[in-house]
Amino acid sequence: MEKLDKILFKPVSPVTLGVFRIGFGVIMLFQFYHIQDYFFNYLMASKYFIKYDFFEWVPTASIEQLRLVFNLAIVSTFLFTIGLFTRFFSFVVFILWTYLFLMDQGHNNNHYYLIGMFLFFMSFVQSDQWGSVRNFFKPSKLIPQWNYLVFKGLIFILYFYGAIAKINMDWLRGYPLRYWLHGRTSFGETIQTFLEYEYTALFFSYYGLIFDLVVGFALFHKKYRFYILPFLIPFHISNHFLWPIGVFPWLSIFVTILFFEDKVDKLFKYNVSGHEVFRQKNKKVIKWFLVTFFVVQILFPLRGFLYGGRVNWHGYGEFFSWHMMLADKQGAVRIRIHDQNDVYLGEVAIEQYVNDRQLYKLVYIPKTFVPFCKYIEKEILSDKRNKTITDVKIYVDAFKTINNRPFARVIDPTVDLTAVEYSVFKKGEYILPFKNTPIEKGYNVLTFEEMLQFTK
């Protein structure tokens, strides 16, 4: 514990953290601008919202309230970027970002979770000690090293578990990149031909695995951190052009400066000697909070093993485990409604309740169909036109494919999901086991409309 105290509370320069605050703020301004279209034009047109476990109580905003959330988030982001009441406005942005994230699972993304944790810690670190409005009026102070280590630790965990998740037979055989690299006509004929070679998919697969496994360790090494840059920067730039993953590549590149604080100090000619040290209060509380937080972050991605089976099939433990672009998953679903006498009443027009992203998440995380069916049940029974119906049974016939295997049922179509007890900790028996059938050669992407018609 004494050694840990020396590491966490060692006085270091605030310059690099100040630079990171500015860059991270600019990235967040773009991020808020970028995601508004989905929220206003797609998500808010949905009738049903897929809530996260334990956060079902999070309310859904109206259009006017959502517009206020975005405007407040953009203004607060700008203020913490320039360093005005930095920690207060960082916390405001954290709350607003977390709210947007928790509104619905349809837009779940690994880097959204990472951004949320970054914003949380930005609310407590001394990122305004350099390059801020506050710094114009007060001299900068040396800050405790834990201000850097929290971000470095999160990046290390992201890379490391990203690598662990890739150690599976599909990835080692080049799937799903064999499919995803095809048809890239926007890059020109030469690059398209190169991307469609079989060995290109294998190269990218093994490169991604080895890179994720090595990069975190290399960045923490004073010598090897320089050697990893020629691999890190092209890796993330290529990801930006190949995959629709938003700001994540640029955030991943920019956060790397936190591992080069000594070089940033030289660039800005900052001399550590002669500066007052920031007086850190509540050291014991901070130390044990950080230990607890990172123990949870290390253990939480492993929870998928407790459920058994294939995580990206049954969906238990897939979120927040850094399973980044690990498999190609498609699905289709048909929902049938029966009355209390098991008389067939009709089907649910799913497109009237959710958008395409939400439907994908419902199929990818099959247990989410249970609260969805209970919602449909409640809606039917509360309709005054259905006075003769005292109870309904809802059966879900859902199909799923992983890496272009033949479509297989993921939910038992004979089970009434309205009678199923929803559980976070126990895998539902209504979820059928994964069958490791051979991967088919031909590949076709189902559109939203085809997903709805697949089981007809």
Which one is predicted more confidently, 37 or 136? Answer: 37
pLDDT for the residue 456: 56
The Cα 316–Cα 321 span in angstroms is 11
Residue 446 has pLDDT above 80, yes or no: no
Mean pLDDT of 363-373: 94
| Tokens encoding 39 | 């929220």
pLDDT for the residue 244: 83
Q: Are residues 38 and 113 in the same domain?
A: yes
pLDDT for the residue 453: 64
Residue type, 321: S
Q: Are residues 150 and 97 in the same domain?
A: yes
Residue type, 19: V
Q: Which of 151-155, 168-172, 377-381, 449-453 has the lowest mean pLDDT?
A: 449-453
Residue type, 278: F
Q: Are residues 14 and 77 in the same domain?
A: yes
Structural domain contains residue 348: yes
Mean pLDDT of 354-380: 94
> Based on the structure, what is the number of domains in the chain?
2
Structural domain contains residue 187: no
Residue 448 banded pLDDT, cuts 50, 70, 90: low
Q: pLDDT per residue over 182-199, tens digit each?
A: 877 778 888 888 888 889
pLDDT for the residue 454: 63
The Cα 376–Cα 357 span in angstroms is 19
Q: pLDDT per residue over 224-256, tens digit each?
A: 999 999 999 999 999 998 888 889 999 999 999
Q: Which domain holds residue 279?
A: 2-158+221-231+246-304
Measured between alpha carbons, how far is residue 343 from residues 312, 336, 338, 339 in Å?
A: 34, 11, 5, 5
Q: Are residues 95 and 26 in the same domain?
A: yes
Structural domain contains residue 168: no
Residue 455 banded pLDDT, cuts 50, 70, 90: low
Q: pLDDT per residue over 38-92, tens digit each?
A: 999 999 999 999 999 999 999 999 999 999 999 999 999 999 999 999 999 999 9
Residue 215 CB coordination number (10 Å): 25
Mean pLDDT of 362-371: 94
Q: What angle do CA 38, 360, 114 make, to 5 degrees?
A: 60
Q: Are residues 285 and 356 in the same domain?
A: no
pLDDT for the residue 115: 97
Structural domain contains residue 447: yes
CA 441 centroid distance within chain: 30
Mean pLDDT of 397-418: 93
Percent pLDDT > 70 in the chain is 98
Residue 451 banded pLDDT, cuts 50, 70, 90: low
pLDDT for the residue 399: 92
| Tokens encoding 188 | 């020109």
Percent pLDDT > 90 in the chain is 75
pTM > 0.95 = no
pLDDT for the residue 434: 93
What is the average pLDDT score of the chain?
92
Residue 152 has pLDDT above 60, yes or no: yes
Q: Are residues 294 and 357 in the same domain?
A: no
Structural domain contains residue 448: yes
Structural domain contains residue 175: no
The Cα 124–Cα 127 span in angstroms is 9
Q: Are residues 150 and 12 in the same domain?
A: yes
Residue 452 has pLDDT above 70, yes or no: no
Mean pLDDT of 121-146: 92
Q: Are residues 297 and 333 in the same domain?
A: no
57-84 exposure pattern, b = at least 16 Cβ within 10 A, e = fewer: ebeebeeeebeebbeebbebbbbbbbbe
Q: Are residues 138 and 282 in the same domain?
A: yes
Residue 1 has pLDDT above 80, yes or no: no
Handedness of CA 43, 47, 53, 59 (dihedral sign): positive
Q: Are residues 151 and 71 in the same domain?
A: yes
Structural domain contains residue 355: yes
The Cα 252–Cα 249 span in angstroms is 5
Q: pLDDT per residue over 310-340, tens digit each?
A: 999 999 999 999 998 899 998 889 999 999 8
288, 304, 320: which is the final residue of a domain?
304
Q: Are residues 43 and 125 in the same domain?
A: yes
Q: Are residues 121 and 252 in the same domain?
A: yes
Structural domain contains residue 239: no
406 CB-contact burial (10 Å; exposed 0-12 / middle 13-18 / buried 19+)? exposed
